[in-house]
Amino acid sequence: MMPMTAARSPLSPAGAPRPGLRERKKIKTREAIRAAAYGLIRQQGYEATTVEQIAERAEVSPSTVLRYFPTREDIVLTDEYDPVMAAELAARPAGEPWSDSLRHVLRKALDLGAGEEAELARLRTRLLAEVPAVRARMLENMSATGRMLARAIADRTGLDPAGLEVRIVSMSLVGGLMEVSRYWAEHDHEESLTELVDRALDALENGLPALRESHRKGHRGCHRADRRDGPRKD
């Protein structure tokens, strides 16, 4: 689950075999449904867009839409990133710290979803920030992504994927990425998404003490500036 990106074509880890004909047809159908949904949402808004309208534009039946995406929210949220991220993490060098591996994989995912898909990424994060039903479904889906990350972290570290600490780290990361998406949308997508993800990873890796120290230094600097600029006493 990468809520800040929306892939146009299926992603594959390096060296992965090309999907068979049947799988390619499924991928094509998923893409057609997504494209139809995003087009309608742009035209008339999320609430006014129905499964029946999406099916008509995608030239499939409503039952086909629901077979691929159980809910309308899943059309917006479902992507190809989770299995690709897991495979990419597994392919990183064995001696590399897991946090460095994770940073590399997330940056690669952002690069793959950039360029001409930027508009879809902005629409997706705006829906996440503004539509309660989309946000609620995202929260439901977070546990699956968290379990995937827990397994990947466990493979890198040798820890138990069901252990409390691994589960806390993985779910903290998933929640952090969701908040990155919301923050990006709330600030009109003006900041670099890659830099926001880096900030989130820094906060998760280093914790709040480093942030508090940085804030204190900035606060002291403001006070010194105020004293310099304040009125002089005669």
232 in a structural domain: no
Residue 7, pLDDT > 70, answer: no
Residue 5 inside a domain? The answer is no
Q: Which residues fall within 8 angstroms of residue 13, CB to CB, at 6 or more apart?
A: 84, 87, 88, 91
Domain membership of residue 41 (yes or no) is yes
Total tally of structural domains belonging to the chain: 1
The band of 45, judged by pLDDT with boundaries at 50, 70 and 90, is very high
Residue 113 lies in a domain: yes
pTM: 0.63
- Is 80 exceeded by the pLDDT of residue 219? no
- Mean pLDDT across the stretch 16-20? 65
Both tokens of 187, joined, read: 């600030």
For 47, the domain range is: 21-214
Mean per-residue pLDDT, 171-193: 84
Which CATH number goes with the domain that contains 138?
A: 1.10.357.10
- Between 54-63, 137-146, 218-227, the lowest mean confidence (pLDDT) is in 218-227
Mean pLDDT of the chain: 79
Residue type, 88: E
First and final C-alpha spacing in the chain: 63
Mean pLDDT of 46-66: 97
Here the tokens at position 28 are 């094509």
Residue 229 domain flag: no
The answer to the question of residue 105 being in a domain is yes
Residue at 223 is within a domain: no
Q: Is residue 93 part of a domain?
A: yes
